Amino acid sequence: MVNFNQDVGNKRHYSNANRFLFILRQAFQDAGWKVVVEPRIEGLKPDLLIERGELRYVIELKSFSDGKRARLLPLLSMAILESRAAAQSAGNLRPLAIVMAPHINEAVAEDLRQFALAHAPDVALGVIDFDGLQRFWGQGLESLNAERAQELRGNAFKSDEAASHLFSDLNQWMLKVFLGQRLPEALINVPRHEFRNASQLADVADVSVMSAFRFVRQLEGDGFLDHSAHSLQLANVEKLLGRWQAAMLRPQKEIPFRWLIRGGNEERLLDVVREYQESIEQESVNREGEDDWTSRPRARLCLGGFLAAAWLGFGHVSGVPPLLYLEHIDHGLLKRLGLVRVEDARPADVFIRIPSFKESLFRAAVRHNGIQISDILQVWLESSVNPARGPEQANLIKMQVLDPILQEHQ
- Identify the CATH number of the domain in which residue 356 sits: 3.30.460
**Residue 62 in domain:** yes
pLDDT (mean) for 228-248: 85
Quickly state the pLDDT bin for 278 (edges 50, 70, 90). Answer: confident
The tens digit of pLDDT for each residue in 208-227 reads 988 899 999 889 888 898 87
Between 277 and 401, residue with greater pLDDT: 401
Between 292 and 187, residue with greater pLDDT: 187
**Residue 293 in domain:** no
Residue 374 has a pLDDT of 96
* Radius of gyration from C-alpha coordinates of the chain: 26
Cα angle 12, 17, 21 (rounded to 5 degrees) comes to: 120
Q: To the nearest 10°, report the CA torsion of 19, 20, 23, 27.
A: -160
Among 118, 134, 156, which residue terminates a domain? 156
pLDDT (mean) for 361-374: 93
Clarify whether residues 180 and 108 are in a common domain. no
Between 206 and 228, residue with greater pLDDT: 206
The CB density around residue 40, as the number of other CB atoms within 10 Å, is 13
Cα angle 329, 330, 331 (rounded to 5 degrees) comes to: 110
Among 122, 137, 156, which residue terminates a domain? 156
Q: What is the overall mean pLDDT for the chain?
A: 82
Bridge partners, 55 (sequence order):
52
Backbone torsions φ then ψ of 366, nearest 5 degrees: -110, 160
Residue 159 has a pLDDT of 39
Residue 247 has pLDDT above 50, yes or no: yes
**Residue 291 in domain:** no
CATH of the domain at 234: 1.10.10.10
Clarify whether residues 189 and 264 are in a common domain. no
The C-alpha atoms of residue 239 and residue 225 are separated, in whole angstroms, by: 12
Residue 45 has a pLDDT of 82
CATH of the domain at 65: 3.40.1350.10
Clarify whether residues 152 and 29 are in a common domain. yes
Tell me which residue range forms the domain holding 79: 17-156
Clarify whether residues 197 and 339 are in a common domain. no
The tens digit of pLDDT for each residue in 62-117 reads 988 778 899 899 999 999 999 999 998 877 899 999 998 878 888 999 999 999 99
Clarify whether residues 177 and 268 are in a common domain. no
Bridge partners, 351 (sequence order):
256, 323
Please, what is the end-to-end C-alpha distance for the chain in angstroms?
A: 41
The CB density around residue 116, as the number of other CB atoms within 10 Å, is 23
**Residue 61 in domain:** yes
Residue 289: alpha-carbon gap to chain centroid: 30
Q: Give the max Cα distance, the chain.
A: 86
Clarify whether residues 104 and 22 are in a common domain. yes
Clarify whether residues 278 and 365 are in a common domain. yes
Clarify whether residues 199 and 313 are in a common domain. no
Backbone torsions φ then ψ of 169, nearest 5 degrees: -55, -60
Among 156, 176, 203, which residue terminates a domain? 156
Residue 335 has a pLDDT of 85
Sequential DSSP letters for 111-155:
HHHHHHHHH-TTSEEEEEETTS-EEEESTT-GGG-BPPPGGGTTP
Residue 276 has pLDDT above 80, yes or no: yes
Tally of domains within the chain: 3
Clarify whether residues 371 and 333 are in a common domain. yes
Enter the pTM of the model. 0.60
Least trusted range by pLDDT, from 158-172, 330-344, 363-377: 158-172
Return the amino acid letter for 187. Answer: L
Residues 6+ away with beta carbon under 8 Å from 276: 301, 333, 336
Coil/strand/helix, residue 11? coil
Distances (CA, A) of 76 to 10, 50, 125, 149, 171: 22, 19, 9, 25, 33
Distances (CA, A) of 347 to 305, 383, 389: 17, 21, 18
